Amino acid sequence: MQALVVTAIITASLGGCLFWDPAMAALIVAEDAPVEMVEAVLLAMALALCLVRWRGLLAAGRSPASEVVLAVGFFILLEGEIELWQRVLGSTMTFRHTFRQPPALFAVWLSLYAVMLALLVLFASYILRRLVPLWRWGLAALRTDWGRLLVLSVAILVLTEVFERRLNRILPTVFPKSMLEETLELIAGAYAVLALIERERVEPVKPAPPAEA
CB within 8 Å of 50: residues ≥ 6 apart: 67, 70, 71, 74, 196
Burial (CB count <10 Å: 0-12, 13-18, 19+), residue 131: exposed
| Contact assessment for residue 203 and residue 161, using Cβ atoms and an 8 Å cutoff | no
Detail the DSSP E strand segments found in the chain: none
DSSP letter assigned to residue 205: P
Q: What is the DSSP annotation of 14-44?
A: HHHHHHH-HHHHHHHTSTTSHHHHHHHHHHH
Rg of the chain over CA atoms, in angstroms? Answer: 20
**pLDDT tens-digit profile, the chain (213 residues):** 788 898 899 888 888 888 888 788 788 777 777 888 999 999 999 999 999 999 999 988 898 999 999 999 999 889 888 776 666 666 666 666 666 666 666 677 677 788 888 999 999 999 999 999 999 999 999 999 999 999 999 999 989 888 878 877 776 666 777 788 888 999 999 999 999 999 999 888 877 666 554
Dist. CA 73–CA 69, nearest whole Å:
6
Dist. CA 137–CA 65, nearest whole Å:
10
Dist. CA 12–CA 120, nearest whole Å:
41
Predicted TM-score (pTM) of this structure? 0.84
Structural domain spans, the chain: 2-82+144-202
